[in-house]
Amino acid sequence: MTHDAFEAWTRETLGRVEQGLTTWVRLEAPAGLGEVMRYGVLDGGKRLRPLLVMAAAEAVGAAASEAALRAACAVELIHAYSLIHDDMPCMDNDVLRRGKPTVHVRYGQAMAMLAGDAMQALAFEVLTPAEGEMPAALQARLVGLLARAAGEEGMAGGQAIDLSSVGQPLDEVQLADMHRRKTGALLQTSVKMGAACGAPSPAAWAALSDFGAALGVAFQVVDDILDATQASATLGKTAGKDADANKPTFVTVLGLEVARTRARDLHARAHAALARSGLPQTERLGLLADRVLDRTS
């Protein structure tokens, strides 16, 4: 696949996701809540998770399904809500996100918390349409995957470890466990949700799951490297926050060079998993993994 073809697929897919989010995050939500939710989720971010859902759905021949688009939007709603809550003063106290003031800076803390709460609920609404072409069994499956990735076994649990780790010496295993939950679970689940829209063999499912796991950790290692080496203007968010907050990162635990090697190893593992899947159309998943390693912001 040429670079141009991949870029064209990315643009077209993100257009569909943006359209889905614009439909489902209703501006008409009461008392300005719709505006706040839209501020938090529309028109921003790299949309890595929805792209993973759609690329995984393509790998299993389900890219055109309504379920895949709903899964892509649901996972982005969970991601976006988590950023809103993370940025609040009682958590990371960040004022800049995607180059814009964070939601609580723009709309106040109460509306930010509420918008995040409503977005989590909305993710599960999007996965359970009362009408349309989405089988109930698939609805239940996707809800189960997403809820477990978002909750204490996944993202929220990872954030709790993160909170309690400030100033604590974590070793690489503990750090990897934290990030497997905090960031990795939702990335891996994006791949699984896309795959669940088709009917992969158990072997293909296991391989895609391993691809998602490797990509999930690689993403965080690269994030920590960028946080340690890039300026805020490039990142579109406040750089160096984790080191400043005395939080352990892959860079502080491993050192910069070992962290870079770790990222490359995980990248190779992700590609090996794709090769092992036996699925014919995994090229875009591979290119997304390349993009995770090569990104500069």
Which residues of this protein are in contact with a second copy, per CB under 8 A? 26, 29-34, 37, 81-82, 85, 88, 90-91, 108-111, 113-114, 116-118, 120-122, 124-125, 127-130, 136-137, 139-141, 143-144, 146-148, 150-154, 156-161, 163-165, 181
In angstroms, what is the minimal distance from the CB of 178 to a second copy? Answer: 8
Nearest to a second copy of 129, 236 (CB atom) = 129
Nearest to a second copy of 128, 238 (CB atom) = 128
In angstroms, what is the minimal distance from the CB of 247 to a second copy? Answer: 13
In angstroms, what is the minimal distance from the CB of 40 to a second copy? Answer: 13
In angstroms, what is the minimal distance from the CB of 225 to a second copy? Answer: 25
In angstroms, what is the minimal distance from the CB of 297 to a second copy? Answer: 26
Nearest to a second copy of 164, 261 (CB atom) = 164
Nearest to a second copy of 5, 140 (CB atom) = 140
Helix/strand/coil (H/E/C) assignment for every residue in 149-169: HHCCCCHHHHHHHHHHCCCCC
Nearest to a second copy of 136, 231 (CB atom) = 136
